[in-house]
Chain A
Amino acid sequence: MSIKTKRINRVFEAVLWIFSIVTIYPILMVLFTSFKSKGESSYMSIALPSKWIFENYKTVFEKNFLQSLSNSLFITLISVVMIVVLAAFFSFIIVRRDDKICRAAYKLASLGIIAPFAALPTIRLLQHMGIYGSRFSLCLVYAALYMPFTTMMFTSFIKGIPRELDEAAVMDGAVGLRLFVQIILPLLKPAIATTGILSFMWVWNELQIPLYLLNSSSKWTLPLSVYNFYGQYSHSWNLVCADVVLVSLPVILLYVFAQKWVISGMTSGAVKG
């Protein structure tokens, strides 16, 4: 790297840190509020708590925390794997095959980010299939719900992979699934990490859909059982913030982890342009 580039990078770094106040300030607001008493937190402010109340976290923790955490993990994991794997296959065929059916399928999928979730027909359908109320049925709905976006992501990435790579592999006798796994998948790492983290976040944070589709609080997910319990309008913003911090932490950790994974994937030289 030239000295000039280094200098530019340093300037950029400084600018980004200055700009980050816009982000850090509100984050601190949430963090401080999570340690305040109920009275002090009647509205959000940057003021330091007059007394640090760590019990807020304990209160949040006590509400069936472990069970809803394991529900959350179960539901999120299965959903994310399904979303990513299914959308990757789907996009691969759509982009590469590129015939009439596939173009129509792509249009249909992109309409999927427009159409809303319809609770009543979905419940009726699941009841009809005899799986209403189970956690797995929720995963299936999530997989279907977030597939459109993930498909959009993957198709845009696969379009960027030169077809010549496929052709070389086909010469070696790799078709279908093998072609996908050997050639396309390694190049999709950044896309997989990104869609993985995004869908993880969406499924993890979803508040409304589980309320409709699960029929027992023993299956409830973390945000539902913790945060919903205090209600959005009972004005215990201190507890709401403590909960936000707790629920967000896993996502942040996962994000850091996924970022490292993407970068290491890139430098290990998977790309043979």
Chain B
Amino acid sequence: MNRKKIYPLYLAAIPALIFIVFFLLPSTAGYYYAFTNWSAARTTDLKFVGLENVISVIQNTKIPKAFVNTLIYAGVKTVLVTVLGFVFAYILNREIKSRTALRTIYFIPAIFSCLVVGLIFSAVFQTRYGTLNNILNVFGIANVQWLGTRGTAVFSICTAEVWRNVGYAIIITLAGLQSVSADYLEAAKLDGASEWQIFRHVTLPLIMPTVNVNILFSLIYGLKMFDLIYVMTGGGPGNDTESFGTLMMNEMSAGRYAQSVAVNLVFTVILVIVALAYQKFSSKWETVE
């Protein structure tokens, strides 16, 4: 029997339709506004202004800093979240007595909204009464303005973001580990393979697709990051911690809607390139394994 009959397209038709109608169409249509003079002061009778807004975005003096910051956020987040998530998930998948409790504790940060995580870490990194400075004071180190200079503020934001997202990575990886068939592991054990060998040659290749989901997910959401930055530093001090996401928000709250969409458009183009490049790279990697 041929594939077309075994896997009929109609099963995918409804999901595809809903996805296209309720998300893809409106989102794509939304980008049209980047080429108009849409603003808080003008919501009807919009005029087409061509690339004017896109050009003004590219020329914006805040873009270079925001671009570098965005890369730092996404890079640090992706590496740390994926690695930590994997390590914790691997341990939590072992037969540990209190693992239900541990799994729950490690997952809770993922439930909190960005506002709460922002509040928590603002308190941890606060200069005068913050937890971290209190600890440093015990060792005789003077107060550090964690959120007051660029390097430390970017570091603080990354810490908070990683803290919030390791939970996601853990449960996604756990799901992957749990669908590794016990039979494979048994077979490998009977062949006398060591734990490391089993891990390297059985477990790792089998959950590579899940790890890829984690990486792509962290990467894209890391690049899109804005709300945590907004709560913790508001993009400041000055514009030192601004990302593409916060620039978009700034344009939006100033009522410059078309410009906000234009920032988004430029940003989306970058994201699409990154995502496609990564997929190409990772598909090779999966087939090699």
Contact = CB atoms under 8 A, between A and B. Distances in A.
B178 A175 contact: no
Contacts of B168: 198
B217 A149 contact: yes
Given A89-B12, A114-B272, A160-B179, A22 B163 contact: yes
Interface residues of B, number: 91
Interface stretch (B66-74, B87-95, B138-146): B87-95
A157 B210 contact: yes
A163 B14 CA distance: 24
B18 A147 contact: yes
B120 interface: yes
Contact of A20 (B94, B97, B106): B106
Interface stretch (A55-63, A66-74, A116-124, A214-222): A116-124
Interface string A187-223: 1011101100110010001010000000000000001
Contact of A27 (B88, B91, B108): B108
A197 B24 contact: no
B41 interface: no
A111 interface: yes
Contacts of B22: 122, 125, 140-141, 143-145
A212 to B, nearest CB: 11
A93 interface: yes
B111 interface: yes
B271 A114 contact: yes
Given A26-B120, A110-B279, A16 B100 contact: no
A252 interface: yes
B96 A9 contact: yes
A157 B92 CA distance: 20
Interface string A69-100: 00000000000001000110110111011110
Nearest to A201: B111
B275 interface: yes
Chain B CB within 10 Å, residue with most, of A25, A252, A262, A273: A273
A54 interface: no
A3 interface: no
Contacts of B16: 90, 105
B11 A177 contact: yes
Contacts of B256: none
Nearest to B231: A232
A156 B96 contact: no
B15 A147 contact: yes
A156 B18 contact: no
B245 to A, nearest CB: 10
Interface stretch (B27-35, B56-64, B149-157): B27-35
A271 interface: yes
Label chain B's interface by main secondary structure. Answer: helix
Interface in B1-50: 1, 3-9, 11-12, 14-16, 18-19, 21-31, 33
A166 B3 CA distance: 11
B85 interface: no
Nearest to A102: B12
Interface string B164-204: 00001001101110110111100000000001000000000
Contact of B18 (A1, A98, A116, A140): A140
A256 interface: yes
B250 interface: no
A262 B89 CA distance: 15
A197 B171 contact: yes
B241 interface: no
A256 B104 contact: yes
A18 to B, nearest CB: 11
A118 B184 contact: no
Most chain A CB inside 10 Å of its own CB: which residue of B107, B182, B217, B221: B107
B216 interface: yes
10 contacts: A13-B98, A23-B163, A27-B109, A45-B131, A102-B12, A112-B19, A160-B179, A160-B209, A191-B175, A262-B178
Interface of B: 1, 3-9, 11-12, 14-16, 18-19, 21-31, 33, 88, 91-92, 94-98, 100, 102-113, 115-116, 119-124, 126, 129, 131, 163, 168, 171-172, 174-176, 178-179, 181-184, 195, 206, 209-210, 212-213, 216-217, 220-221, 224, 264, 268, 271-272, 275-276, 279, 286
Given A26-B109, A114-B272, A252-B107, 6 more contacts: A23-B109, A27-B109, A43-B122, A92-B11, A144-B22, A157-B210
Top 4 nearest A-B pairs by Cβ distance? A118-B30, A156-B209, A144-B23, A144-B22
